[in-house]
Amino acid sequence: MSGFKLVGRKNRIEFSQVPNELLEFNEDEIILDSGKSVEHSNGFDVGGNSLNEKVKRNTVKHSSKKPNYLKKLPKIARDHPVYTRLKGIDKWIGTLSKEEVSDKLKQFQLECNGKRDVLSNRLKHFYKHQLLIMAALQEKNKYSVPLTYDYFVVIDFEATCEAGKQEEYRHEIIEFPAVLIKGTTGEVVDEFRQFCRPSLEPKLSDFCLELTGISQETIDASPSFIEVLDMFKRWLEKHQLGTKYSFSLVTDGPWDMGRFLLIQCSLCGITFPEFALTWCNIRKIFSNYYDTRRYPLSVMLELLGMEFEGRAHSGLDDARNIARILSRLLLDGANLRVNERIYLGPLPSQNQKPIPKDLKIYDLSSVVVPISSEEFKRYYKCQMKIEDDSLSARVEGIKIL
């Protein structure tokens, strides 16, 4: 029989050696040894969300601060016959009903909850990964994509607010939550949460109290933002993030860093933290990987067959739910990397417009710019370091009217 066989052995997938000319296989020739636990090759247990300790012990550890995404990988010839086969598989999956796609996912012990488009793309990525391994275009028993970071830190700020649309409202951060996710397992390692006492408007509006569920008593007893930021930095140091382990911030959209944190640092007259200059906008990753429109948190959860857990507009609960989406993306083999940054002018080898003199802190299009895949590689290869006075001068020079 041509094709390949997935056999659970020591919680790893073993593949028979198949020459390239035998890549034309029938879908029925992909067989699972149903009596054993099989691990999907991105490091997760494909039988569900839980992971056993044996898989964790076998996980490769990364200690480099530089993202592992930059490690040299074999170049893939796009004219390889495997891509012709992949196009055929994509078309075939497109003809299947949701129930048929779900049955195929169950056959491979993959997650089968969610909307049809998400399920179809999950199955397509699974077939693609297996074919690339067979064609020797991707290593066996490795992640379906290079592991980008050792850890991910999910952040979702809550800030002061008023009813009605106010584009130039001076938001102050009142809740600073973070959820630490291990890149190799998708598991929650730790959480950070501190409330902050605003200085411009220490008394929260009725609208803000109702929206966030944060009480005035909690705010009155909380430290200042500067104190909380120092606590967060010590929390990062405790987990050796940025020193022994690489990490990326993860947000749902550009607003947390490009608006809330930037405004807050400007109001406090402090340097914008270097660790927040770049981040992973999970809304973009989700849209690109599952081939959907860019949806808010609640819809992304719905598309994955999940329900929101906790209280909406609680910063920590929002961060926890974003972390659930992050874990599912990792499980499905998505490549999570930073894709947005604070605009500090051109990066090396980039032809961009000069820094606008009238940079407005409220205008996200002026403050936040996307990071392409190629720019991502150049950005970290150059190990670009931001001097204290480069961004601090820019931030402190912006007047908040």
Give the per-residue pLDDT at 80: 74
209 and 262 assigned to the same domain? yes
Active-site annotation holds for 125 = no
Give the per-residue pLDDT at 379: 63
pTM above 0.75, yes or no: no
320 and 258 assigned to the same domain? yes
Bin 84: left if φ > 0, else alpha if -120 < ψ < 50, else beta.
alpha
216 and 182 assigned to the same domain? yes
Give the per-residue pLDDT at 380: 61
Give the per-residue pLDDT at 347: 41
Give the per-residue pLDDT at 82: 79
| 87 burial level (CB within 10 Å; 0-12, 13-18, 19+) | exposed
Q: Which listed residue (39, 111, 158, 375) is catalytic?
A: 158
In a domain, 54, yes or no: yes
Sequence-distant (6+) residues with CB within 8 A of 389 are none
Q: Which listed residue (100, 187, 313, 396) is catalytic?
A: 313
In a domain, 347, yes or no: yes
Please tell me the total number of residues recorded for the chain in this structure. 401
120 and 199 assigned to the same domain? no
Give the per-residue pLDDT at 37: 33
336 and 245 assigned to the same domain? yes
Sequence-distant (6+) residues with CB within 8 A of 233 are 273
In a domain, 139, yes or no: no
Secondary structure percentages of the chain, helix, strand, coil, to 5: 40, 15, 50
List the CATH number of the domain containing 381.
3.30.420.10
368 with 258: CB under 8 angstroms? Answer: yes
128 and 162 assigned to the same domain? no
Give the per-residue pLDDT at 366: 59
CB atoms within 10 A of CB 243: 11
What six digits make up the tokens of 30? 């992909």
123 and 220 assigned to the same domain? no
In a domain, 302, yes or no: yes
166 and 88 assigned to the same domain? no
122 and 250 assigned to the same domain? no
From 82, 108, 134, give the residue that closes a domain: 134
Give the per-residue pLDDT at 252: 98
125 and 207 assigned to the same domain? no
Sequence-distant (6+) residues with CB within 8 A of 367 are 258, 259, 262, 342, 343, 359, 360, 361
Active-site annotation holds for 313 = yes
In a domain, 47, yes or no: yes
Give the per-residue pLDDT at 233: 98
177 and 306 assigned to the same domain? yes
160 and 87 assigned to the same domain? no
In a domain, 9, yes or no: yes
Task: Give the mean pLDDT per block of 10 residues along the chain (401 residues).
Answer: 32 30 39 34 34 31 44 54 84 92 91 93 88 71 61 98 80 98 94 98 96 97 98 98 95 95 90 92 96 95 96 97 96 90 58 42 68 76 42 39 33
Nearest-angstrom CA–CA distance, 96 and 103? 10
List the CATH number of the domain containing 48.
1.10.720.30
What six digits make up the tokens of 181? 């996710």
Structural domain span for residue 28: 5-134
Give the per-residue pLDDT at 172: 97
82 with 137: CB under 8 angstroms? Answer: yes
Taking Cα atoms as reference points, which of 365, 347, 348 lies closest to residue 356?
Answer: 365
From 102, 134, 166, give the residue that closes a domain: 134
Sequence-distant (6+) residues with CB within 8 A of 385 are none
Give the per-residue pLDDT at 364: 58
How many folded domains does the chain comprise? 2
